[in-house]
Amino acid sequence: MTLLLVLPVITGSSCAAQFGGNGLEQRHSTSTDGKTLLDLAEKELAVWHDEKASSYFNSVIEICDQKIRKGVPSLPFVVDKAKALRGEGDANLHMSRHKAANISYSAAIKLWDSILQNSPADLTALNGKADALSALANLKQVLTQFDSAQSDFIRSIEISDEILKLSSSDSVAIINKAHAQMGIGRMEMTLGKHATATKRFKESLESYGSILDTDSLYIDSLLGRQETLLYLALLQSSMGDSDAARLSCDESIGLGSKVLKVAPRNVRSRLNKSLALDRLGYLKGQRNDFTAALSAYREAVQNSEAASKIEPSNLNCLNTKAEALAWQGRLYLIYYEIPEALATSSKALDVCADVLRIAPEDIRALETRAFILSNLATIELTAKRETKALAFRKDAIDAWSQVLTYAPNNCNALRSKANAINDWILLNQTLPQQKNVGAKYEDALNCNLLALKLAPSDSRTLIDRANILHCKAKVEIHNGHYPEALAACTEGLASIDETLKTKPNLSSAFAYRGRILMTCGNINSKLSQNGVALVNLKEAVAAYDKALVLEPTQTSYYGKKAQALVELGIQQEQMSLDKEGRNSLLAAKALFDIALKKMPSDSELYKYDIKRLNLRLAGDSPLDAEATDQ
């Protein structure tokens, strides 16, 4: 299952950090009715009234330009203009006006540079430039311009370090540095560089933690820690470290509750809490704790709805609600509660539509929509409505293609599109009067390869590639092309081996290794290579053993190991190893009992294999085709 990693990107430091600093704070002729336009713009931006905020920011820019042209002492107006451009960039980014945001951020940086040419140690200008660079880097990350984004993040950190050498307690510089560290960590995580991402997140947590509780930016530091822990939880989850991920989620949620006690209308904290609850729900679901998982997802929806009431124009509120509903629908699907899965997923799709009506290029909403369409396809397939399922599979492919139109280097979208093509091929193969679409596997593999070029060591992409190759092998078997099937399996195993070089304790990699080795065993048995088949099946059982040692709470591994033991037992009996064969079959029966006790809803999944097993144990003629591999 593809993990959804579409969190909101921080669009800059806190308002205090953006507009605070030292040395150039005096505002002059930009006031109206006792309040500055800059203050008004800031307040509108804070509640996502982006059009109104943008209008105010533009007015500030025009006033500053007029004053500068008239020869009024220009330095304070250059500062105000730089701040207004920075804010205008955020407003444009909120509205998915990426080109306009780029122009605004870049213009702000140039203005800060113009001040620094004459006053290279001015702390306000240095902080302003560091903040604007970080905001520009976040935008570039959204647009998957990773190299340029990394350069901007690093330069932002360097400037903050320069400030801290001059003033070690400058909390604005500390916050800016922590934001940039988190930004690099998030980017490294996207590119599958998990070790360096972990290091960056820990550095960010250390920076945020250095802000004292008496500091005016203490709440901002708590928000930053809350957000960084959320990303760290996602990283730990993708690395297979579920226990660490749960601890990070709990800590992030705890920090969110702490902020909301002091500032109950803080939308950023509420949304971060919702996203952490999302991930916690996923982790609880992995442990087969349906009640706890559902509770977490529902609380995530409630938090996002509460945030929407505070800031109705904030699209992040809607996006967060859509994601929580999408994962809740996925949970219902896993437990075969089809009506609930369909209703919840449809509701999530409606929320995405609300976002896209306002901001058609909102990448986060587009990704969530594609994920939901894939879920709806599986829901329809489970309900045996194959034609509807096929239509949703095609819609999912198109939806991921739309994401890639706006973000061509989006690893998640490339990987997910490859998986969507794979799913479409598999379903096509099962329908009557459908053409052989096995050649389409090249499209899936090429898409996956593009993701691998961006993130060569990303375990999810490597495992997905192994899965696509395994599915290709199953199609080749169906068509009687056994050597081609064996070649696909061999390539798939190589992809798993590549994963295990960097993630030697990733349970899912061993589980996929077991699946592919089972298929190798079946192919070699058909080719009368019985000795090789026996080795393949023993290795498959051993792979599932390793997966269970690493993650004993993963119920599916018990059933999959049982399937492998059934295949091994039949192969042993065919080779006149009757005692060993019966022992393998009895062990399989015991494992099926454990699997179905842990997850009764999986009875349909293993029905065919259990039937084969019982026939064999009863001494009747079993079906000797390979086990169903779902």
Look-up of token digits 């905001």:
135
The answer, yes or no, to whether residue 7 has pLDDT greater than 60, is no
How confident is the model at residue 299, as a pLDDT? 96
| Confidence label for 27 from pLDDT (cuts 50, 70 and 90) | very low
Residues 392, 376 contacting (CB under 8 angstroms): yes
Q: Do the domain assignments include residue 596?
A: yes
Q: Do the domain assignments include residue 502?
A: no
Rounded Cα gap, residues 315 and 319, in angstroms = 6
Q: Any idea what DSSP says for residue 372?
A: H
Look-up of token digits 């590119």:
191
Q: For the residues 468-472, what does the mean pLDDT come to?
A: 94
Q: Do the domain assignments include residue 306?
A: no
pLDDT digits (tens, 9 = 90+) for 421-432: 999 998 887 776
Least confident of 237-246, 370-379, 437-446: 437-446
| Confidence label for 440 from pLDDT (cuts 50, 70 and 90) | confident
Look-up of token digits 């059933």:
559
- Select from 560, 547, 541 the least CA-distant residue to 505: 547
Rounded Cα gap, residues 276 and 257, in angstroms = 12
Q: Do the domain assignments include residue 101?
A: yes
Q: Where are the alpha helices (DSSP H) in 212-289?
A: 218-238, 242-262, 267-286
Comparing 441 with 433, which gets the higher pLDDT? 441
Tally the C-alpha atoms within 13 A of residue 343's C-alpha that lie toward its C-beta. 5
535 burial (CB, 10 Å; 0-12 / 13-18 / 19+) is: middle
Q: Do the domain assignments include residue 86?
A: yes
Residue that terminates a domain, selected from 143, 175, 210: 210
| Confidence label for 438 from pLDDT (cuts 50, 70 and 90) | low
Q: Do the domain assignments include residue 512?
A: no
pTM > 0.85: no
Determine the structural domain holding residue 127 and report its residue range. Answer: 8-210
Comparing 430 with 507, which gets the higher pLDDT? 507
Tokens read off for 13: 């430091």
| Confidence label for 515 from pLDDT (cuts 50, 70 and 90) | very high
Q: For the residues 50-68, what does the mean pLDDT come to?
A: 89
Residue that terminates a domain, selected from 192, 210, 228: 210
pLDDT digits (tens, 9 = 90+) for 334-378: 888 999 999 999 999 999 999 999 999 899 999 999 999 999 999
pLDDT digits (tens, 9 = 90+) for 110-152: 999 999 999 999 999 999 999 999 999 999 998 889 999 999 9
Provide the domain count of the chain. 2
How confident is the model at residue 33, as a pLDDT? 37
pLDDT digits (tens, 9 = 90+) for 392-419: 999 999 999 999 999 898 999 999 999 9
| Confidence label for 86 from pLDDT (cuts 50, 70 and 90) | very high
Rounded Cα gap, residues 402 and 416, in angstroms = 12
Please, what is the end-to-end C-alpha distance for the chain in angstroms? Answer: 13
The answer, yes or no, to whether residue 2 has pLDDT greater than 50, is no
pLDDT digits (tens, 9 = 90+) for 551-600: 898 888 999 999 999 999 999 999 999 899 999 999 999 999 998 888 88
CA 501 vs CA 181, 370, 458, 497, 505: distances in Å: 27, 31, 11, 6, 10
Residue that terminates a domain, selected from 210, 237, 260: 210
pLDDT digits (tens, 9 = 90+) for 170-204: 999 999 999 999 999 999 998 888 899 999 999 99
Residue 104's CATH number: 1.25.40.10
The answer, yes or no, to whether residue 95 has pLDDT greater than 90, is no
Q: Do the domain assignments include residue 558?
A: yes
Residue-level length of the chain: 630
Angle at CA of residue 322, ends 318 and 328, nearest 5°: 145
- Select from 307, 293, 298 the least CA-distant residue to 260: 307
Q: Do the domain assignments include residue 462?
A: no
Residues 370, 403 contacting (CB under 8 angstroms): yes
